[in-house]
Chains A and B, each alone.
Chain A
């Protein structure tokens, strides 16, 4: 069975500082990895994905994520956080060739002035 772990329920960071939201996964075969963001009272929005190739993936709003196969991790990063980045972030994994997308429990990011 495939699974995703987001070990932090909440991450607090000051505006202008770098941020990292952690994600580890477990899946058979090649993983397809995704990050989604949820703003209050909204549905989830796609941020970025890793399918194959370069381990550093760039996405929307200045976010990027680094795929680390040996550590089975796919951490979300941004060099300089904005207050407007405050939201709920979800990591998701799909097994290569499969139809099922499994989400993590989410990490609330709070960026303060």
Chain B
């Protein structure tokens, strides 16, 4: 089954403790992206990747890191989480944004930073 898999679904952590949210897709998609969803703000893009080893900042990249060493994986890293990073995070992928292919989304990761 074609899917984007995020782990974990729920994560509670404390300020400053490094964490990684994993994202993997099995559709051989070129494009991958991370979004955060906050009430009243909709989805905001954190980082995106057009291909392996190619990443770029979205609208709200501060406090986040990403890497794209393999085509299927695009982990989101919070080196020193802070409470304002408490949010619902989504990973998404598509064949090629230039062709306006639809985005496939993971099920989300609810992160709470205490």
- Do A and B form a real pair? yes
Query: Which A residues contact B (CB, under 8 angstroms)?
Result: 6, 9, 32, 34, 36, 41-46, 49, 51, 90, 94, 97, 99-106
Residues of B within 8 A of A (CB-CB), count: 26
* A44/B90 in contact, CB under 8 A: yes
**Closest residue on chain A to residue B6 by CB atoms:** A43
Query: Which B residues contact A (CB, under 8 angstroms)?
Result: 4, 31, 33, 35, 40-45, 48, 50, 56, 58, 90, 92, 97-98, 100, 102-108
11 inter-chain pairs at a CB distance below 8 angstroms, sorted by A residue, are: A41-B107, A41-B108, A43-B4, A43-B108, A45-B105, A46-B103, A94-B97, A99-B50, A100-B58, A101-B103, A102-B45
| From B50, B103, B107, residue with most partner A Cβ within 10 Å | B103
Extra contacts, 16 of them, besides A51-B100, A103-B35 (Cβ < 8 A), are A32-B100, A34-B102, A36-B105, A41-B108, A43-B90, A43-B105, A44-B90, A44-B105, A46-B102, A46-B103, A90-B43, A94-B97, A99-B48, A99-B97, A103-B44, A106-B42
